[in-house]
Amino acid sequence: MSRIFVSYAREDVDTARQLADGMAEAGHEVWWDNHLAGGSRFANEIDEALKDAEAVVVLWSESSINSAWVLDEAAEGRDSGRLVPIAIGSAKPPLGFRQFHTIDLGSSPGRRRSGAFEELLNAIARKCVSEARMETLRPAAETKNSAETVSICILPFANMSGDPEQEYFSDGITEDITTDLSKFSALEVVARNTAFSFKGQNPDVKQVARQLGVSHVLEGSVRKAGGRVRINAQLIDGRTGNHLWADRFDRDLTDIFDIQDEISKSIVGALKVRLLPKDNEAIEGRGTANVDAYSLYLMARQQWVSGGFSYRDSHKMIVRLCREATSLDPDYAQAWALMALAQASLRFWYGNEEDALPAAERALALNPKLPEAHCVKARYLEDEGLFDQAERQIRIALDLSPASWEANRELASFLYRHARISDAIPFFGKAASMMETDTSSAAMLLSCYQAIGDQENVREAAQLCVARAERAIAHDPSHAVELAWGTTALAALGERERARDWARRALIIDPDNTSMRYNLACSFSVGLGDHEAALDILGPYFERVDSRAQLRHLEADPDFEPIRNDPRFKEMLAAAKRRLAMERAAS
C-alpha cells in the first residue's frame, strides 16, 4: 500500500472522488481534501499530507491549470520526483510540466478496468513500490544495483571569505563536486540549477531532502584567502538529520583538486555504495592541474551562468579570462570551449569579428566529449548552409549531455530558424527551466506560442519573461537586451505603456546593440502593432548585421510576419544580404 496525495480543482471534485475511490480499491492510502477534519488548519494539514505522500497525482483540467493551489502542489511533486500527472478532458499541462508523460484518462476517468486507469496504477507503483516488492519483480542483479542507488543534493557551499567577489570560487567548488558525484552510476545527483535555488538561504536539511525526494544532503563552506583555502563539508542523512561524515580541509590553494577528490571519494565511502568497474575512473580531473588557470575559468563560468550569454560585455570578459587561462595551460579543453561559446555569441549576435571556430576545434581535439564545442561548430556549419551537418553536430552535443543548457538552447534555436516552431518548444522550455537567468529562452517560448496561436501559454511565457527581465534589470539597469525582452513580454500581457517606456530606455542606453534592436523590433511588429517604429528600429540593425545565420533567423522569425512584405523591410533585407555577400567574397 502506498500513500497518495490527489491534487485537483474544486470544479473536478466528482472526478477526483472517482479516482480516489479507484486507487483506494487498488489498496492505496489516498488523501484528498475531503479528509480535512472540521476546524482543522486547512493549509497546514494539506502541507503535512503533501510532504508525507509517496506519489502526488495531479489532475490537469481546464480549471486546474489556472489554480494556484494545484500549480503549487504539482511543483512540489515535480521537484521531489513524486509527480504522477493525468489529464482529463482536453486539458494540456501548463508550462513547466510538459516534459513529463501525462496519462490521458479521457472522458471516463473513474472506470476501474480502463487501460488508462491501469496505466495510472502502474505509474503509482513505479513511484512508490518498496524495495521488498522490487525484489519479487526484478532480476537479482538489477535489484542489487537499485537497492544500492542513493540520491543526494549538493547545496551551494557558503562563501566565507568575507569578499563577495570570491563567490565564483565557492560556486565553482560546488559545481565541480556535483559533477564528480554525478559520474558514479550508483548515485542520483540533483541538478545544479535545482540545488542552487537554495543559494543564500539557510534551509532545514530534512526539509530539503523531503522537498527534493533525496536520501542525503551535502552542505559546506569555502574560505579562500591568499594562497590558502579552507573547506568544511558535512554529509547528512536526509531522514534523520544525522551527520554521516564531516571533515575540514585547511590546505594550500595548490591542493584544491586533491581536496575536491577527497571530498567526493569520502562521500562515496560514507554512503557505502557499490561501485562498478567504470566508476573507478569516474573522477578524471578538471581538465587542468594549474590552479591559476582553474580560478580564471571559474570566474568566466560564473559570468556565463549568471547571464553572460545575453550580455555583450560579459562575453568579452569571458573571452579575456579564458584566453589567460589557456595561456597558463594550453591543454585546458573546458576553457577553450567556454571561450568559443562567448566568441560565437559575439560574432553571430553582436557583429564582432571574433572567430570562435579555432577555439572550438582546439577544445574538441583535446576532449571530443565537450557538448559546448560541438554547438559552436554547428553554428559555423549552419552559416555555410550545411544544415544537415549542423543539426547532426547539435544532436551529438545533446547525446553527450542531455542536461546541457547550451545543447538544448542551440537545438531549439536551430529548429526555430528552420520554421520547425512546434519542435523547438520543448527544448526552449527545458533550457528555460535549467537556468534561472535565462530570459532569452522564456522570450523565445513566448514567440513560439504566439506563432501557433496558443494564447494561454503566451501569457505564462510572458509572465516568466517579465519576472526574469525585472530581476536582471534590478541588478543592472543598463542591460538593454533584458529591457528589449521585457518589452516583448509586457506587450503580450497588454501593458503597452510600460512596454513603450522600456523600449525608450533600451534605445537610449545602448543604441548600437544589434541584439537589442532585433528583439525590440519584434515587440513593435507583433505586440505593439507599430510597424513603422519596428522598421525604424531595424534600420541600424540591417546596416550592422554580420552573419547569414542571423538573417536566416530573421527570415524565419514569425514575429516579423506583419512587416515581411513591406517594401522598406524587403529593401533593407536585400541590402544586408548584398553587403554580406560582398564581404564574404572579399574574404
Q: What is the CATH number of the domain that holds 118?
A: 3.40.50.10140
Rounded CA separation 126/134 (Å):
10
Same domain, 211 and 278: yes
Please report whether residue 257 resides in a domain.
Answer: yes
CATH number at residue 214: 3.40.50.10610
pLDDT cut 90: percent of the chain above it? 39
User: What's the CA gap between 482 and 11, in Å, rounded?
Assistant: 39
Strands, E, within 101-142: which ranges?
103-104
Kindly state whether residues 115 and 194 are assigned to the same domain.
no
Task: Using the predicted structure, report yes or no on whether residue 113 has a pLDDT greater than 70.
Answer: no
Cell of 28: 492505496
Query: Are residues 118 and 152 both part of a single domain?
Result: no
Mean pLDDT in residue range 139-147: 37
- 119 with 217, same domain: the answer is no
Query: Mean of the pLDDT values across residues 448-466?
Result: 92
Range of the domain at 48: 3-129
| pLDDT confidence of residue 122 | 75
Number of domains in the chain: 2
192 and 218 in a single domain? The answer is yes
- 187 DSSP β-pair partners: 150
| Dihedral angle, C-alpha 537, 543, 548, 549, nearest 10 ° | -30
**122 and 20 housed in the same domain:** yes
Q: Which of 254, 286, 318 is at the close of a domain?
A: 286
φ, ψ of residue 259 in degrees (nearest 5): -60, -45
Domain assignment present for 317:
no
pLDDT, residue 559, reads: 94
Name the residue among 508, 480, 488, 435 with its Cα closest to residue 191: 435
Please say which residue of 286, 301, 330 terminates a domain: 286
**Above 90 in pLDDT, residue 362?**
yes
* Mean pLDDT, residues 22-31: 84
Q: Is residue 453 predicted with pLDDT exceeding 80?
A: yes
55 and 121 assigned to the same domain: yes
**pLDDT tier, 258 (very low <50, low <70, confident <90, very high otherwise):** confident
User: Is residue 8 domain-shared with residue 115, that is, in the same domain?
Assistant: yes
Arithmetic mean of pLDDT, 123-142: 47
Query: Looking at residue 217, what is its pLDDT?
Result: 93
Q: Is the pLDDT of residue 106 over 60?
A: yes
Answer yes or no: do 189 and 261 share one domain: yes
Segment 112-116 shows an average pLDDT of 58
Strand 216-225 and strand 228-237: the pairing is antiparallel
- Asked if 125 and 173 sit in the same domain, the reply is no
What pLDDT does residue 521 have? 96
**372-394 tens-digit pLDDT:** 999 999 999 988 889 999 999 99
The contacts of residue 279 (CB under 8 Å, 6+ apart) are: 183, 184, 185, 186
Q: Nine-digit cell at 225? A: 584567502
- 334 grid coordinates: 573546458
Q: How confident is the model at residue 441 (pLDDT cuts 50, 70, 90)?
A: very high
pLDDT digit string, tens, across residues 181-236: 877 777 888 877 778 878 877 888 888 888 888 899 999 999 988 788 899 999 99
Q: Are residues 196 and 70 in the same domain?
A: no
Q: How far apart are CA 488 and CA 270, in angstroms?
A: 51
- Residues 7 and 82 reside in one and the same domain: yes
Determine the Cα–Cα distance for residues 157 and 174; give it in Å rounded to an integer.
6
Residue with grid cell 502506498, as numbered in its chain: 2
Query: 315 and 339 in contact (C-beta within 8 Å)?
Result: no
Query: Does 189 fall in a domain?
Result: yes
